[in-house]
DNA sequence: ACCTGAACACCGTTCAAGT
DNA sequence: ACCTGAACACCGTTCAAGT
């Protein structure tokens, strides 16, 4: 996370300071740049080069513009990364039942889906976005994460968990178990996927390469044994099974402790 | 994680390359620097300034030495951070029952502690080290994490989970649920603790300040309601309860699905 | 209103040189 | 064997200036 400012950092968030220059009053003709284009280019660059490959200067080059032009639209690099973060969170599809104000939920279909199904869907979406954008976990760990899309996601997660029947004072805890798990899982999975992309290897190839690089170390004997027991044909398959069953465990725990 | 090398990175780990210069053959008198001193200073700097405040040049200054001296002992900044990472992992106290080779476990006390108690201890230790060293989560997400202490921790975690009675092919999944949860939890808790230290505020002070900065945003209404329901007098108390109950949920899930 | 250029105070790391 | 100094190719950001 060496991405922040170098000093003690006053640490304001984009979402806590008024936006810069989105007010193009009158009808001047818009020129090359704007917020949308900048954030899109930022995400493209982050996807391609990772967080450490991203710089304001690289971004400016990508946009065919001088290094400082971007600063007209964005206060700092940190603010820009927060915008990218929230844009990525916006890619998460929310279950229809869990979105919008309460009144609209009165009109929801007579057969609302099971909370467990909704939770699994939301967790899968969250996981996927972190694998697709492997820079996301680092930013999620770095910033306040109170952009509109992040808040929408949190509220959806909360709404779903409410349907579990868990008492109100246990909801934050259960949310924490599920989504911190997915966050951690997505972090390592995303990193692995990024390393594969960078090395031009499939997940299986990189996995076996990594395994063989520690083949002679007996401290790994226990891990190897248990990884073998886990079975599965491909790395992806093993990971999917781990993910699915871990969620099953969490759900089973919630159901078990729901009524004491 | 803008901490890596700028290019595509060949990405060798310290643990996969022979060490630099720890072989001071003969009995030359040792001079100022050595691995231990360097890693200790690194951790001190990281604790004080965070990952973004750490640089090879700041470290050298701290050691009263020129910028390039450190490179005699350490190949790159990344390698040094991997060493700091593993040193931090070494602060985790492992349950006596879960450490060492199998034979020594035959001699373990007649009354080995419950696996749930051991799991709770290990999780608490892991959480604590991330709060103490708030730079740790970022590094854990960045590097391979196959240093001796990290492997020792993994093996201990595995040994404990084995005692749960879960079938072998479900162990990785359960480990993932528990420790990825703790990782995610520790990440945000560590960041919050670091921000408090930087701002010179208590956790409660910063918490209420953050809350009031979004007081007028109704998107947060639901979160506020549920945070209120959670109760607790201090932020630390709420967090401890969340953590403890989340682990209870995980454990209950494991027990529920243990025998199908 | 929008963009540029030069400059400042930093980075990690290489490399030739000192002792 | 260990440490230095100068240099290279980068950073984020400020600030005065252009159109």
* Closest among A77, A120, A81 to A98, alpha carbons compared: A120
**pLDDT range class, residue A5, cuts 50, 70, 90:** very low
φ/ψ (deg, to 5) at A39: -65, -40
In angstroms, the CA A62 to CA A64 distance is: 5
pLDDT in tens, B26-38: 444 455 789 999 9
Higher pLDDT, A8 or A133: A133
Q: In the structure encoding, which two tokens stand for residue B21, read together?
A: 């210069």
Q: In the block, which residue shows the tokens 């911190």?
A: A180
Interfacial B residues in 229-258 facing A (CB < 8 Å) = 229-231, 238, 241-243, 245-246, 248-257
pTM of the shown model: 0.91
Q: What's the pLDDT score for residue A96?
A: 85
Contacts with B58 (C-beta within 8 Å, 6 or more apart), sequence order? B45, B49
The whole-number average pLDDT for the span B130-154 is 96
Instruction: Report angle CA B170, B175, B179 to the nearest 5 degrees.
Output: 160
Q: What's the pLDDT score for residue A232?
A: 86
Instruction: Note the CA–C1' distance, A36 to C1, in angstroms.
Output: 18
Q: Residue B50: its chain A contacts at CB < 8 A?
A: 1, 4
In angstroms, the CA B64 to CA A5 distance is: 25
Which residue is closest to B154 within chain A, CA to CA? A223
In angstroms, the CA B178 to CA B205 distance is: 30
Asked if strand C contacts B71 at the CB level, meaning under 7 A, the answer is yes
Q: Is A184 on the interface with B (CB under 8 A)?
A: yes
Give counts: helices (H), strands (E), chain B.
Answer: 11, 0
Q: In the structure encoding, which two tokens stand for residue B133, read together?
A: 């060293």
Q: What's the pLDDT score for residue A202?
A: 95
Handedness of CA A49, A51, A55, A56 (dihedral sign): positive
Instruction: Report angle CA A55, B48, B44 to the nearest 5 degrees.
Output: 105
The string over B134-167, giving b where at least 16 C-beta atoms fall within 10 Å of a residue's C-beta and e elsewhere, is bbbbbbbbbbbbbbebbbbbbbbbbbbbbbbebe
- Nearest by CB to A253, which of B159, B210, B252? B252
Work out the mean pLDDT of chain B and round it to a whole number. Answer: 88
**pLDDT range class, residue A7, cuts 50, 70, 90:** very low
Higher pLDDT, A18 or A248: A248
Q: Residue A191: its chain B contacts at CB < 8 A?
A: 141-142
- Residue A121: HSE in the Cβ half-sphere, 13 Å Cα cutoff: 17
Q: In the structure encoding, which two tokens stand for residue B5, read together?
A: 């090398």
């Amino acid at each position: 996370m060496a991405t922040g400012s170098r000093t003690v950092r006053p640490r304001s968030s984009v979402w806590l300071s008024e936006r810069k220059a989105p007010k193009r009053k009158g009808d001047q003709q818009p020129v090359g740049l704007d917020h949308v284009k900048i954030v899109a280019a930022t995400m493209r660059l982050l996807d391609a080069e990772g967080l450490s490959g991203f710089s304001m200067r690289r971004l400016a080059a990508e946009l065919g513009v001088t290094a400082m032009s971007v600063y007209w639209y964005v206060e700092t690099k940190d603010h820009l990364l927060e915008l990218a973060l929230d844009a990525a969170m916006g890619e998460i599809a929310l279950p229809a039942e869990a979105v919008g104000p309460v009144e609209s939920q009165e009109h929801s279909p007579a057969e609302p889906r099971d909370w467990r199904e909704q939770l699994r869907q939301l967790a899968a979406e969250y996981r996927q976005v972190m694998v697709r954008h492997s820079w996301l976990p680092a930013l999620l760990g770095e910033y306040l994460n109170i952009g509109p899309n992040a808040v929408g996601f949190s509220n959806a997660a909360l709404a779903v968990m409410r349907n579990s029947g868990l008492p109100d004072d246990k909801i934050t805890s259960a949310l924490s178990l599920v989504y911190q798990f997915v966050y951690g899982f997505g972090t390592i999975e995303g990193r692995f996927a990024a390393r594969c992309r960078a090395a031009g290897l499939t997940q299986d190839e990189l996995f076996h390469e990594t395994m063989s690089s520690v083949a002679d170390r007996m401290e790994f004997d226990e891990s190897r044994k248990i990884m073998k027991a886990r079975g599965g044909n491909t790395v992806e398959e093993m990971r999917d099974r781990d993910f699915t069953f871990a969620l099953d465990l969490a759900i089973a725990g919630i159901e078990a402790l729901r009524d004491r």
